[in-house]
Structures are given as C-alpha cells and as structure tokens.
Amino acid sequence: MGVTGGIASGKTTVCRVFEAQGAKIVDADRIGRAVVEEDPGILEALRTEFGAGMLTPEGMLDRRKMGKLVFTDPVAKAKLDRIVHPPLFLRLREEIREALSEDQERPVVVDAALIVECGITDWFDVVVTVRASEERRIARLMRRNGLFRKEALDRIRSQMSDSEKAKAATFVIRNDGDEEELRRRALEVWREINAPSEKKRLTEPLF
C-alpha cells in the first residue's frame, strides 16, 4: 500500500494509524536521507552539480540551502531528482521486498510524497492520498520546520496538486479537522481496505 500527499498534509499521521493496526511502514523520506548521507558518490555528484556551498563544513548536504534552491527552481529540482531518485528507488524496492519476505501476511505501507509524480503507483495494490488545505499545510510547515510563509508556500507549490494526486488514489482522506478526526478517518479507510471483499480484489505483489 502507498500513502501519499503533499508536504505537511498529514500522511505520516495516517501511516502511524496503519502501523498501530499491524502494518510495516517503509518511510521514503528516511531512505532518501540515508541514501544521500551514506553514499560519497552522491554527495560528490551534488557538489559537482550545485557547488561546494550546498554542503556543510562537515561535507554533508545542507538541506535548508538545497531546499531554498530546488523549491523555487524547477530546473535545479530536476537535476537533484536525476541524481538522487535512481538510488532512492533501488533502496525503496529493496526495503519493500525485505518487508514482504519477513512476513507475507503483514501489510506493507510505503509513506512517500512522490508516488504519483514519479510514476510508481503500479507498485501498489492500494494508493491512499491525504489531502489538506493549503493554509493548514502552510501553518504546519511554518510551525514544524521553522519556515517563513513564502518558503512554506514555495515547497507546497513545487509539488503536484492534491487534486492531481487524488485522481490516482484508491482512497482519499481529507485532513480538514483535528488530529483525532484524521486518525478516525484513517482507521475507517484501513478497515475498508482490509475488509474481505476488498482483499479479494488485490493483485499479486510485484516484489
């Protein structure tokens, strides 16, 4: 199962609900950070493409600086994606395979913002999209990430719109209430996905 949605939409909260119901969570953001931090070749490619100023004095990626660039410059974002996405997707597939092999009865849920944009919806039996208003997401980004309003808005608008993501979804969860309401809606979707009639329609895994 893939859980997607724009930045600060609430998808990680939904994944926590699914985890509490027994799912194994595979976090694409965590994998992306690990890929960059653990592979000197990727850091060198980033330094060559974007300059040494994008690295910290310790030689790691300065995520704040890179974010300011790529969330306002589509060309720079495309260059970053070309460097990072191939090893990221390779590691993601490996972790999904590993999770499935550990327990074939345990649902595997991938928490990833870019499932639709990157054309990997066919990896999943079910795609859940979490939607939230732009203002709610701006407020959350400013509070959670310490961003200015323009920085938060740039990040949101650099991604595919919620309506486009929703077109590719099996289920859509609206995050327009409090966190308890979001958790309740997530649990309802989980129960529907795992109902016997729904399970019968799921395809064989690709991994």
Q: Say what the pLDDT of residue 198 is.
A: 56
Q: What is the pTM of this model?
A: 0.89
Sign of CA dihedral 29, 32, 38, 43: negative
On the 0-12 / 13-18 / 19+ scale of CB atoms within 10 A, 190 is buried
Residue 24 near residue 1 (C-beta atoms within 8 A): no
Beta-bridge partner residues of 25:
109
Please list the ranges in the chain whose pLDDT falls under 70: 197-207
Q: Say what the pLDDT of residue 135 is.
A: 95
Structural tokens at position 123 = 């990896």
Q: pLDDT per residue over 13-25, tens digit each? A: 999 999 999 999 9
Domains in the chain: ranges and CATH: 1-23+107-197 (3.40.50.300), 29-105 (3.40.50.300)
Beta-bridge partner residues of 171:
128
CA distance linking residue 19 with residue 79, whole number of Å? 34
Residue 141 near residue 147 (C-beta atoms within 8 A): yes
Q: Say what the pLDDT of residue 195 is.
A: 83
Q: Say what the pLDDT of residue 200 is.
A: 46
